[in-house]
Amino acid sequence: MNLDHALRTTGSARRFVTEEITDSTIHAILDLARFSPSGGNRQPWKVAVLKSPEMRSEVARLVKPVWDEYMTAATAGQRAYNMVAYQPPAEVSPFPYELLDYFDKGVAVLVIAADLREIAVTDLNLDRPPIVAGASIYPFCWSILLAAREHGLSGVLTTFLSRTEVEAGPILGLPENFALAATIVLGRPEKEFTKLTRHAVETFATIDRFDGPALTA
């Protein structure tokens, strides 16, 4: 697939045609994604490919309340789990989470973990939560989503499982000093994306300073 096309059309697929994704396809996708960059080329990733119905339903069970809180907050106009001013809702309502319904319909479910000993967090001691830590793992996650396109597959990256890491870690055999970074669901998409909604370059790129003049073509 042409790179320009892939970058412009790799949207988040959440509806899939039932089709078993083979180990060999997942292997091929990871075999491309492993060329992602990481700080110091430390390649801090581990991937648990969830195959058993038991592990998938455990992950679904853990994720559902996090989704419910996210949706409850979103419905009340809040950006849930934001690190600046998040007020958890007093009461959480249940919301359908269609993605989880696909867990027994042939999709691939990959849990990505990162080895914290291998990540240089250069903004660790600032007076705000660090953001650089993720930079050595999310390019790898994105490469999985891009590489999947080469196999006619699409999917979505989610991070809700991270919130349950204390409980999910032992269930998944998460090694000490590893963090749960993402859960990626991949499958044959119900429909292809042709146009993604994104801001124009002029709205976010400026010259010299963030309050400088807009960069134009």
Ligand X SMILES: Cc1cc2nc3c(=O)[nH]c(=O)nc-3n(C[C@H](O)[C@H](O)[C@H](O)COP(=O)(O)O)c2cc1C
Per-residue binding letters, 80-119, with ligand X (x by CB under 6 A)? -------------------x--------------------
* Contact criterion met (CB below 8 Å) for 47 and 93: no
- Toward ligand X, which CB reaches closer, 17 or 27? 17
Stretch of 9-17, 41-49, 169-177, 200-208 contacting ligand X, by CB under 6 A = 9-17
Q: Indicate whether 9 belongs to the interface with ligand X (CB under 6 A).
A: no
By CB under 6 A, name the one of 12, 25, 38, 43 that touches ligand X.
12
Binding to ligand X, residues 142-181 (CB under 6 A): 156-160
- Cβ of residue 12: shortest distance to ligand X, in angstroms? 4
Our finding on whether 48 is near ligand X (CB under 6 A) is no
Residues near ligand X, by CB under 6 A:
11-12, 14, 99, 156-160, 196-197
